[in-house]
Amino acid sequence: MSGNLSVDPDRLWSAILETAAIGATPKGGLCRLALTELDGEVRRWFARQCEAIGCTVIRDDMGNMFARRAGRNPSLPPIAIGSHLDTQPTGGKFDGVIGVLAGLEVLRALHESGVETEAPIEVINWTNEEGSRFAPAMLSSGVFAGAFERDWAWARADRSGIRFGDALAEIGERGEQACGAHPLSAHFELHIEQGPILEAESRTIGIVTGVQGMRWYEATITGQEGHAGATPMRLRQDALLATARMITAIERIAADHAPDAVGTVGLIENRPNSRNVVPGEVFFTIDLRHPDDIVLEQMEAELHTAFAEACGPLRWNLERVWNNPAVRFDADCIEAVRNAADSLSLPARELVSGAGHDSAYVARVAPTSMIFVPCAGGLSHNEAESAEKDHVAAGAQVLLRAVLATDRRLAAERRPETA
């Protein structure tokens, strides 16, 4: 019976539209930053939906939510479906969200059919995946996997000085279970591609084999404020001008390692930010990515050299705040996704993810893979982000079959022990 089990595309799409009203922006996107009241609202919505079909919902002390449907063998760690419900400040209604809601749809399909799995099935909402409010990204899955200490994560502050741990308590989402004390048999994540490849090749499914390496940096260049009219050009110590040189240098570093390297300056704070004052200090962020960690190391060395050249007599400080090495996903989980796509005759191809995902950390402690579906124009982290209903439903169906295949494999592996 489980081989014919199907998700309900209309119900899944309705859930996407319903949650898109929580934090909706005028341009059709979402602003639902981690641990804001809007994040709390969508979390409570998710918990209600899961509890309505008999699932239990718990939270750990990083706010990660685990919605569990029981299996025949409670001693088996659950097979998890995980993603996130937080968004960028000008985010879309598909990034992360479809992974959690497709997981909810899998639970609903199992509930309606009465299918009993060997292992429990869980849907996880990972806290602060985006890293937009609290850097770095994937903070809570990072604690779960042992990449970060919990107390360090609790102390991370947003730009207004509010600490992660305090914000978590404020919205009532801090659980008692220690983050990481929750073993998993496997972890699957459905996500929009956030790139143009699947759409360009008319593929419905991306079989994700891993995630490229990525590093985040915070930089400060300090010069000297001066009067814009009375300070000669040759005597200026213009921090913004040095920053402009660095932005160009970062573009060059990425171009020199093309086609796989990317480099981005995404946040700039110019001080004092007055129209008639020579800028005295600039804070900015840098994002470097490449599938090969050796190349990333070389790019970082070139970054340090570029700072010395661009800043001259000005003072500068560069701090690496996040290092997420390249990840290779589990062969059995990848095969489960590949077989599911084949069984549904869906056009598919293998991909390495250019974006970071919670699965990159979870892969350190549990067998993991991901499923991608196309997004229009490859556009993401944008209010105009869009995906087709049929593609999202196809991804959810592949997810369902991959989870059930993994459950059958786990059941078969345990039979000799009980014979």
Considering the domain architecture, whether residues 332 and 265 belong to the same structural domain is answered as: no
pLDDT bracket for residue 414 (50, 70, 90) = confident
Neighbours of 14 (CB within 10 A): 12
| Model pLDDT for residues 98-116, shown as the tens digit of each residue | 999 999 999 999 999 999 9
Specify whether the CB–CB gap between 140 and 127 falls below 8 A: yes
Could you give the C-alpha distances from 287 to 24, 215, 263, 269, in angstroms and in order? Answer: 27, 6, 6, 16
CA-CA distance, 182 to 126, in Å (whole number)?
A: 13
Over residues 354-370, mean pLDDT:
96
Give mean pLDDT, residues 363-371.
98
Q: Note whether 218 and 201 are same-domain residues.
A: no
How big is the CA angle at 47 (ends 44 and 51), to the nearest 5 degrees? 140
| Mean pLDDT within 220-234 | 98
Query: What is the DSSP code string of 17-56?
Result: HHHTTTTB-TTS-B---TTSHHHHHHHHHHHHHHHHTT-E
Provide the CB-side half-sphere exposure for 187 (13 A, CA). Answer: 26
Task: Give, as one character, the DSSP assignment of residue 377.
Answer: G
| Domain match, 126 and 155 both | yes
Same domain, 167 and 83: yes
* 11 and 139 co-located in one domain: yes
Based on the fold, state whether residues 309 and 409 are members of the same structural domain.
no
Each residue of 120-150: pLDDT tens digit?
999 999 999 999 999 999 999 999 999 999 9
* Alpha carbon distance 215, 287 (integer Å): 6
Do both 187 and 227 map to the same domain? no
What does each C-alpha distance from 172 to 55, 82, 126 come to in angstroms? 20, 21, 16
Provide the domain limits for residue 234: 214-324
Q: How far apart are CA 120 and CA 109, in angstroms?
A: 15
For the record, the structure tokens of 395 come out as 């991804």
Mark whether 310 and 370 lie in a shared domain.
no
- Give 310-342 pLDDT, tens digit per residue: 999 999 999 999 898 999 999 999 999 999 999
Q: So what's the pLDDT on residue 419?
A: 45
User: Is pLDDT of 46 > 60?
Assistant: yes
- Give yes or no: residues 268 and 207 share one domain: no
Answer for the pair 326, 106: CB distance below 8 angstroms, yes or no: no
Residues 220 and 179 in one domain: no
Backbone angles phi, psi at 365, to 5 degrees: -125, -5
Number of H helices, E strands in the chain: 12, 16
Residues 11 and 133 in one domain: yes
pLDDT at 4: 84
Domain count, the chain: 2
